[in-house]
Amino acid sequence: MTNEPFFPFLRSILPFLGKGALMTVELTIISVGIGVIIGIFGGMARVSRNPILLVPSTIYVEVIRGTPLLAQLFLVYFGLPSLGINLPPFTAAVIAMGINSGAYVTEIFRGGIQSIEKGQMEAARPLGLSYLQAMRYIILPQAFKRILPPLGNEFIAMLKDSSLASTIAIAELMRVGREITSRTFRSFEVLTVVALLYLAITLPLSLLVRYAERRMSVSD
Amino acid sequence: MIRLEKIYKRFGKLEVLRGVDLNIEKGEVVVIIGPSGAGKSTLLRCINLLERPTSGRVIFEGIDITRMDGRNIDKVRERIGMVFQHINLFNHLNVMDNVILAPMKVKGLSRNTAEQIARSLLERMGLGDKLYAYPSQLSGGQRQRVAIARALAMQPDIMLFDEPTSALDPEMIKEVLDVMKALVNDGMTMVIVTHEMGFAKEVASRIIFMDDGYIVEEGTPKEIFSNPKEERTAMFLSKILY
């Protein structure tokens, strides 16, 4: 197997790498999904004047952004068991990555909300809309349109960072690649293919974001 | 209908309103004039608590709304329409959705009912052919008429206008003033901050002249424009009237 020509070799490893890539995508979608849910509320908390919302959300963002994702991942997977909380690898990974992503998405939403002219909120309130209704129907839809590009970037960044989950025994793309390498010793070829597979996912994604941007700008 | 009592408003060290009393009766058209920085817009924004007075009371139909909690203030705001200098249509919604949003989400009307109300309002504003246009596709005058329709769709008891024509190109001012005049003829209670003196003279039941955070003088258009009692009023008018 080690001196097999490249293309037959590629054909033999591709199904495994494909499965790994699928896991990578799954991990990323769920994590960023959690991140977006956290981010919507986090973003609103970050623009709030109420310290009960503002202070915890600010601490959350600073702590998460200021510490490595790998440390967060290990804390959830290896650290929590000593408190009696044992999580399966996949659950631990999406919790750590979701919370991590949430901090970045919070800042994305904060920026998006603040970029909407003050007049939009001012026009909404005299109509009898509550602050939350105005957020939901007026501010967030417009903010969402503007944050689509950074949100796309966050997704791409998280997709690449999900390779860290290989360290806690999740059979995602990077992990599968390293397993094949250790079996075949064809590091250069395998890791190049792994890198290209990441690219094959992120590239269409950037195009999709660009397309969505254009679609959503009808009202501009 | 609405009574303002001893309204003070400070922004930091800046005192914008210094004890304003104002009473607005049903059916009145009150026009507020005065130099910029006089506190006209701030006063208007205190009426629906878009600006919280630093002290003083706003009494709406006998109830002090400055002491109300958020939800009840929203209830009062439903009945006070407001139109802004900068128009502030909801940019992501077309004309129809701009107008029906609040009737549906606040009053709980069905889409059908809300659309019926909106359509007849927009047609009256001469916008029957723009129902599904987006704000960016409209002229300033058209946008402001949509904004008026949006406020009227809540069937308010009173309408506040904050320099509704100040941001418009000159050739679009008349179409907005015409719509407002039609409202006056319908008997709508209105409070208008404006620099359009001809319009003020024509529609106002009462003119308020403000300067430096005070109401300096008030009276009928005739009293204010032809025979001002205060020197400051006379000076302001001499500067702006040709």
Q: In this predicted structure, what is the pLDDT of residue A62?
A: 97
Distances, alpha carbon B167 to alpha carbons A129, B86, B170, B179, in Å: 25, 6, 9, 17
Partner-chain contact A142 B50, CB within 8 Å: no
CB contact under 8 A, A119 and B94: no
Which tens digits make up the pLDDT trace of A70-104? 999 999 999 999 999 999 999 999 999 999 999 99
- Is A126 an 8 Å CB contact of chain B? yes
Output the pLDDT for position B113. 96
Provide the Cα torsion A149, A153, A158, A163; round to 10°.
150
Taking CA–CA distances from B47, the nearest residue in chain A reads: A126
Distances (CA, A) of B91 to A64, A112, A138, A141, B94: 34, 15, 9, 10, 8
Q: Which residues of B touch A122 (CB under 8 A)?
A: 50, 84, 88
Cα–Cα distance between A97 and A101 in angstroms, integer? 6
At A2 the pLDDT is 63
| DSSP state, residue B218 | E
Q: Do B102 and A129 touch (CB under 8 A)?
A: yes
Question: Considering CB atoms only, which of A117, A126, A138 is closest to B48?
Answer: A126
Give the list of residues 6+ apart from residue A63 with CB closer than 8 angstroms, or none.
A103
Name the residue type at position A17: L
Contacts with A145 from chain B: Cβ below 8 Å: 92
- Range list of β-strands (E), A16-139: none
Helix (H) or strand (E) holding B9: strand B2-11
| Whether the Cβ atoms of residue B1 and residue B158 lie closer than 8 Å to each other | yes
Span A94-131, pLDDT tens digits: 999 999 999 999 999 999 999 999 999 999 999 999 99
| A127 in contact with B, Cβ within 8 Å | yes
Residue B108 φ/ψ region, left for φ over 0, alpha for ψ in the -120 to 50 degree band, beta for the rest: left
What is the rounded average pLDDT of the residues B89-102? 96
Cβ contacts of B135 on chain A, cutoff 8 Å? 219
C-alpha A62/C-alpha A79 separation (Å) is 21
* Overall average pLDDT of the B222-235 stretch: 93
- Torsion sign across C-alpha atoms B165, B238, B210, B32: negative
What pTM was computed for the model?
0.88
Residue B68 identity (one-letter amino acid): M
Query: Interface pTM (ipTM) of the complex?
Result: 0.90
Contact across the interface for B90 and A119, Cβ inside 8 Å: no
A219 pLDDT more than 60: no
Specify the 3-state DSSP secondary structure of B35.
coil
Mean per-residue pLDDT, A52-76:
97
* Tokens found for residue B109: 């009307």
pLDDT at A3: 76
pLDDT of residue B203: 95
Which burial class, exposed, middle or buried, applies to B181 when counting CB atoms under 10 A from its CB (0-12, 13-18, 19+)? middle
The pLDDT mean for chain B works out to 94
For residue B155, give the chain A residue with the closest CA: A127
